[in-house]
């Protein structure tokens, strides 16, 4: 079955960078679009970014555009999110999710806390 495992979260100071990873298994990773979705503590879901099956196309939420970069390594079945210039409002659990227009499988998430 589909298995998605995020890693790389932690506490980081405002303005610094962090890279999240999502290891995928149980499906043909290289044939599927992949997303990052986040959830601030006690809040709802916010879509962050998507990459196409081959990484040739990517789109971002306005709130992260120019600061975050989504990428993938299909040889390693791994999705990434490079987060630069982090802000307090980026504090959230970050989920990777498999899917095209909707999210049919989710990882357990990794917590990113931006605080001085």
Binding-site ranges for another protein (CB under 8 A): 35, 44-47, 50, 59-62, 95, 101-109
Cβ-based nearer residue to another protein, 13 or 101? 101
Cβ-based nearer residue to another protein, 96 or 114? 96
CB-based contact 48:103 (threshold 8 Å): no
Task: Report the C-alpha gap between 23 and 32 in whole angstroms.
Answer: 14
Please, what is the minimum distance in Å from the beta carbon of residue 95 to another protein?
5
42 burial level (CB within 10 Å; 0-12, 13-18, 19+): exposed
Please, what is the minimum distance in Å from the beta carbon of residue 93 to another protein?
9
Cβ-based nearer residue to another protein, 53 or 103? 103
- Point out which residues pair with 34 in neighbouring strands: 51, 98
């Amino acid at each position: 079955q589909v298995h998605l495992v995020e890693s790389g979260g932690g506490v980081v100071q405002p303005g610094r960078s962090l890279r999240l990873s999502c290891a995928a298994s149980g499906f043909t990773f290289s044939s599927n679009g992949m997303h990052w979705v986040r959830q601030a503590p006690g809040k709802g879901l916010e879509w962050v970014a998507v990459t196409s099956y081959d990484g040739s196309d990517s789109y971002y939420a306005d709130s992260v555009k120019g600061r975050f970069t989504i990428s993938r390594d299909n040889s390693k079945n791994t999705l990434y999110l490079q987060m630069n210039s982090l802000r307090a409002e980026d504090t959230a659990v970050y989920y990777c999710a498999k899917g095209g227009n909707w999210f049919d499988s989710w990882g357990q998430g990794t917590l990113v806390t931006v605080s001085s």
